[in-house]
Amino acid sequence: MAAAPPVSGPRRNSIRQLLDKALDLTIAPGYTAAGYRLRGLSWEDAIAGGFVRGGVALVTGASSGLGQATCEGLAVAGARVHMLVRNRERGERAREQIVERLGERGVRPELRLELCDLAEPRSIREFASRFTERERELTVLVNNAGVLPPERVRTKEGFELTFATNVVGPFLLTNLLLPALRRGAPSRVVTVTSGGMYAAGLDVDDLQLERRDYAGTRFYAHTKRVQVALTELWAERERGHGIAFFAMHPGWADTPGLARSLPRFHRLLKPALRDAHQGADTIVWLATVAKPPGDSGELWQDRRVRPKHRLPRTREGAAERERLWSELSRLVESPGPEPGAPGK
Ligand SMILES: NC(=O)c1ccc[n+]([C@@H]2O[C@H](COP(=O)([O-])OP(=O)(O)OC[C@H]3O[C@@H](n4cnc5c(N)ncnc54)[C@H](OP(=O)(O)O)[C@@H]3O)[C@@H](O)[C@H]2O)c1
């Protein structure tokens, strides 16, 4: 019997596109390691782009999971990487692990630890001023740090902990670093959200969900929805300054954070989960690819733009997003740039 003819390039691409669409529609399989493989993605491709080569990157949540993998990827791609951590010891361990791994491929990464507690605005302000004294220009900021606490916790400065870490932290840090990002333009900000946000709509009247009983996954999903809305707002407000803003969700990856926050889910799905590098793939790709094929302000998963909503009830309008900006600015007393304000 004659062998089947090989599948040609364009045909292989259209098969990939159909498969990608099917995985996106069925949601769960696309979030697993199988989804990553079926989409034909690989870490070596993710780190191949030259955008960040010779540039400066800052990655939050660098001591663990996706953040650590992201630092590794950006270092191989040629960036000087600042690893933002809240605990020096854990940060040092993560840095050493990267150095050891990359040593095996003959790469000597440029990695520097930065200490900051993203749940505490005072710590963020101090960090941002230290950082911008040393680094005038920033090429890539990755807002990756995130938590899903088992119970309601108040921070020293009075915020609910999930909200403080996942929303106040990236909002304030990004706004304080906008001048450095403008000076480093073209530059990029990648914010790591979660597929969990598909279940949540914005509640601008009760941003910290103080009127509700605590439920970790619901509070987490709400903060992740806020991150997607913020990405859209930054994209609008910073238009013309050369900074592109992306939200991405990583699928389901086997990280210390997932094991700690959702132990049952983690145990059940462990064999199907992505590893940390597969989870970090689209973060690194967005930070390194010459030109992402999509606009600033979009949501990405597995290197493609995805819908921001899957349920009509979660949709918000532009006016609600603007209220979100005002309310967050009031909360952190950092109004950020006016829409269309000229850059420096
Ligand atoms: N893994 C998944 O399947 C998955 C799915 C969807 C979304 N995500 C998102 O991906 C991101 C990374 O998560 P991960 O799975 O890699 O979890 P992880 O292993 O727990 O990593 C989270 C990182 O955030 C840091 N962090 C937490 N609170 C902080 C604070 N107040 N200040 C500074 N750093 C802080 C942690 O530092 P310590 O080491 O000091 O705790 C850690 O480095 C999160 O935003 C998460 O929501 C993950």
Q: Whole-angstrom Cα distance, residue 119 to residue 164?
A: 5
Q: Is 142 in the pocket of ligand 1 (CB under 6 A)?
A: no
The pLDDT profile of the chain, 344 residues, written as one tens digit per residue, is: 344 455 566 777 777 888 888 788 777 789 999 999 999 999 999 999 999 999 999 999 999 999 999 999 999 999 999 999 999 999 999 999 999 999 998 999 999 999 999 999 999 999 999 999 999 999 999 999 999 999 999 999 999 999 999 999 999 999 999 999 999 999 999 999 999 999 999 999 999 999 999 999 999 999 999 999 999 999 999 999 999 999 999 999 999 999 999 999 999 999 999 999 999 999 999 999 999 999 999 999 999 999 999 999 999 999 999 999 999 999 998 555 555 544 33
The first and second tokens of residue 168, run together, are 């106040």
Name 141's bridge partners.
58, 189
Ligand 1 and 67: CB distance under 6 A? yes
Q: What are the sequence ranges of the domains in the chain? A: 16-332
Average pLDDT, the chain: 93
Pocket test of ligand 1: the residue of 86, 117, 122, 167 to mutate, having most ligand atoms within 8 Å of its CB, is 86
* CATH architecture, domain defined by 16-332: 3-Layer(aba) Sandwich (3.40)
Q: Does residue 90's CB lie within 6 angstroms of at least one atom of ligand 1? A: yes
- Ligand 1 contact via 78 beta carbon (within 6 Å): no
Judge if the beta carbon of residue 33 lies within 6 A of ligand 1: no
In sequence order, which residues have a C-beta less than 8 Å from that of residue 28 and are 6 or more positions away? none
Q: What is the pTM of this model?
A: 0.94
Q: What's CA 310's distance to the chain center, in Å?
A: 20
SS3 110: strand
Burial 222-235 (b: 16+ CB within 10 A, else e): bbbbbbbbbbbbbb
- Select from 147, 193, 277 the residue to mutate for testing ligand 1; criterion: most ligand atoms less than 8 Å from CB: 147
pLDDT digits (tens, 9 = 90+) for 116-128: 999 999 999 999 9
Active site residue 220: yes
Q: Can you count the helices (H) and strands (E) in the chain?
A: 14, 8
CA 185-188-193 angle, to 5 degrees, is: 160
Measured in angstroms, how far is the CA atom of residue 336 from the centroid of ligand 1? Answer: 25
* Size (the chain), residues: 344
